[in-house]
Amino acid sequence: MPAGATERADPIYVEQCGEGPIVLSGLRGTYEHPIVVTRKTDGVITLTKPDLERYFNTIAFKRQEAGYYPSVGQNADDAALILRNCQFVLIRDLQFVDCWPTALYLDECQNIAVMDCEFQRGTIAIGANGRTTRDLLIEGCTFAQTEPGEMWNDITWESIHGSFDNANYSVDLCDGRHSLDGDFFRAWDIVGHVTLRGNTIRDAFNGIHFFNRVDRLEVVEPAKPPRYNSDRKSANTVLIENNWFERVRDNCIEPEAHAWNWVVRGNRFADCYTPYSFEIERGGWFYIYDNHHWLMERPGSKTRFSGSGFKTKGTQLNDGDFYVFNNSWLFNKGERTFRKQKLGRLKHHNNAIKDTDKRGRFFGSHSLRPTPGDDAVKAEEKRFTRRWATYQIEMNGDWIWDGQTIEAYRKAGYGLGDETQARDPGFRSPTGPEDRKSLKPGVKMAKAGVAWTMLHPAYEEASRRDDSKHADRYRLEIAAGGQVGAGLPQDQRRRIDAFLTFVPSVPFRM
């Protein structure tokens, strides 16, 4: 046996049915031999709460009365299974049912994998906390908070997440549903290096949600690499790929405050209210590509029913680009792709967007209205920004079929590139097997893409070297004549994937 190696430990079996939380502390596997936590029987892990709804409604009410947002997430450490100060652990094949508020909680842990676990009913499936938490893999898991369609059609958005600020809503102690105000994966201040792959998130309020409260880089502060890299403490380097999101009632992917180096690729978003919420203060180097999105059936609860592609806000003078390319979108009821506000350094290329209702709302319902007076900032509360030079926004090569001409958008002040087209990508509905449905690209989309240039997060630092060839490694030239929309040919997809060398590695030998 090599020096320093350890023998593989026997699995730790956890079987618990309502008798209180399980706490595993100080587990130390190795890269070669992770400790396995699994189950031996068909038992499920539960953590019930008596008088469930009133319990959570009361927490939200007390928060409201104290002048805070009426959320319940601060109670997430009340979990059924807690790992604290653990390293090199594989959590596999566990079933969590009725774990309130949280099923699995990772506190100050490193090199953890959660694989093939099932989460039914609960506020948060997986919570991760701590400024030393990093190198996580979440793969092949499923999460559902309610029965199919229940949250989408029957439960109002306000009863889950409403407040005085966003809905003129006061917490209802009797009829509120604040127990559902959660996520599949929620992280607080963790370093990052997280992969979420091949998971199914359906009938949930949110999908993947990162809070970053430890980075406070002012907008005016330049992104000088030595200081900047030392200050980039949280929500850094995340890979979200090949997941299935279905009937997610609020946001599928949501970094809060600051986030850097995220790759979102190969996912499918089926009837989700907002796939991307980027109401961040400052961030960058996002790569969002080869994803399929469709919203064919609006929520039926009569409130917050007009979805969108992106939710944006903030100052958004970002440090790195937000690349959004080769994605496909299909809207059925006049939804918005960019509904209001701004997203600094957005680079939007070769996407295919179709709105069968043809209501001309790509940039929001007020996108073609003139700016009242000179108040551009006020106008952006209702439409996407037209200040593209200020925010370094570029769009070119997209097919936008929403009933409006490209020239009309240009006359309104949107600097769409010369190769942007009002052209029907031909989508009628998603096709294929249930969990692999896609918006199949039409024949004419195969060689219609425009040329553009993508930069790696390391480019700016590499370009400071005297050797120009070093910087060339971190610049990818996308040639004209490639695909428009999602469904990239394998050779194109492999080339782009290989360029993004910073994506996280697996946390231990599999």
> Of 295, 310, 337, which is closest to residue 427 (Cα–Cα)?
295
Given a contact cutoff of 8 angstroms between Cβ atoms, the answer to whether 345 and 223 are in contact is no
Residues 66 and 6 in one domain: yes
What confidence score (pLDDT) does residue 414 get?
Answer: 96
Domain contains 242: yes
Structure token pair of residue 480: 């004209």
- CA 410, CA 415: separation in Å to the nearest integer? 6
Domain contains 331: yes
Structure token pair of residue 83: 């790992």
Count of beta carbons in the 10 Å neighbourhood of residue 392: 13
Domain with 363 in it: 205-445+482-510
Structure token pair of residue 51: 């008088």
> Of 54, 246, 72, 71, which is closest to residue 144 (Cα–Cα)?
246
Residues 393 and 276 in one domain: yes
Q: Which residues contact 390 (CB under 8 A, 6 or more apart)?
A: none
- CA 53, CA 171: separation in Å to the nearest integer? 12
What confidence score (pLDDT) does residue 7 get?
Answer: 57
Structure token pair of residue 354: 């179709």
- CA 195, CA 14: separation in Å to the nearest integer? 25
Residues 224 and 373 in one domain: yes
- CA 337, CA 247: separation in Å to the nearest integer? 17
Domain contains 103: yes
Residues 171 and 224 in one domain: no
> Of 264, 326, 329, which is closest to residue 296 (Cα–Cα)?
329
Domain contains 461: no
Residues 177 and 221 in one domain: no
Count of beta carbons in the 10 Å neighbourhood of residue 140: 16
Structure token pair of residue 328: 């496909």
- Helix, strand or coil for residue 178? helix
Residues 24 and 91 in one domain: yes
Residues 281 and 172 in one domain: no
- CA 55, CA 46: separation in Å to the nearest integer? 17
Question: What is the Cα 149 distance to its own chain's centre?
Answer: 21
Count of beta carbons in the 10 Å neighbourhood of residue 22: 18
- pTM for the whole structure: 0.95
- CA 15, CA 82: separation in Å to the nearest integer? 14
Domain contains 452: no
- CA 113, CA 505: separation in Å to the nearest integer? 12
- Per residue of the chain (510 residues), what is the pLDDT tens digit? 333 334 568 899 998 876 789 999 999 999 999 999 999 988 899 999 999 999 999 999 999 999 999 999 999 999 999 999 999 999 999 999 999 999 999 999 999 999 999 999 999 999 999 999 999 999 999 999 999 999 999 999 999 998 887 777 889 999 999 999 999 999 999 999 999 999 999 999 999 999 999 988 777 777 666 666 677 889 999 999 999 999 999 999 999 999 999 999 999 999 999 999 999 888 999 999 999 999 999 998 777 788 899 999 877 788 899 999 999 999 998 899 999 999 999 999 999 999 999 999 999 989 998 877 668 888 998 999 999 999 999 999 999 999 999 999 999 999 999 999 999 999 999 999 887 899 999 999 999 999 999 999 988 888 877 666 777 899 999 999 999 999 999 999 999 999 999 999 999 998
Residues 173 and 286 in one domain: no
Strand pairing report for 244-248 and 268-270:
parallel
Residues 179 and 213 in one domain: no
Count of beta carbons in the 10 Å neighbourhood of residue 139: 20
Structure token pair of residue 233: 């403490």
Q: Which residues contact 431 (CB under 8 A, 6 or more apart)?
A: 437, 438, 439, 440
Given a contact cutoff of 8 angstroms between Cβ atoms, the answer to whether 22 and 48 are in contact is no
- CA 99, CA 126: separation in Å to the nearest integer? 11
What confidence score (pLDDT) does residue 224 get?
Answer: 66
Domain contains 388: yes
Strand pairing report for 45-47 and 87-92:
unpaired
Residues 216 and 180 in one domain: no
> What does the pLDDT look like over 344-366, one tens digit per residue?
999 999 999 999 999 999 999 89
Residues 306 and 347 in one domain: yes
What confidence score (pLDDT) does residue 226 get?
Answer: 60
Residues 419 and 296 in one domain: yes
Hey, what amino acid is at 291?
A: N
> What radius of gyration do the chain's Cα atoms show?
23
- CA 117, CA 200: separation in Å to the nearest integer? 11
Given a contact cutoff of 8 angstroms between Cβ atoms, the answer to whether 45 and 103 are in contact is yes
Read off φ and ψ for residue 247, nearest 5 degrees: 55, 50
> What does the pLDDT look like over 233-255, one tens digit per residue?
899 999 999 999 999 999 999 99
Domain contains 477: no
Domain contains 474: no
C-alpha pair distances (Å), 194 with each of 38, 263, 347, 371:
21, 11, 24, 42
Given a contact cutoff of 8 angstroms between Cβ atoms, the answer to whether 310 and 346 are in contact is no
Cis peptide before 226 (omega within 30 of 0): no
Given a contact cutoff of 8 angstroms between Cβ atoms, the answer to whether 332 and 305 are in contact is no
Work out how many domains the chain is built from and give that number. 2
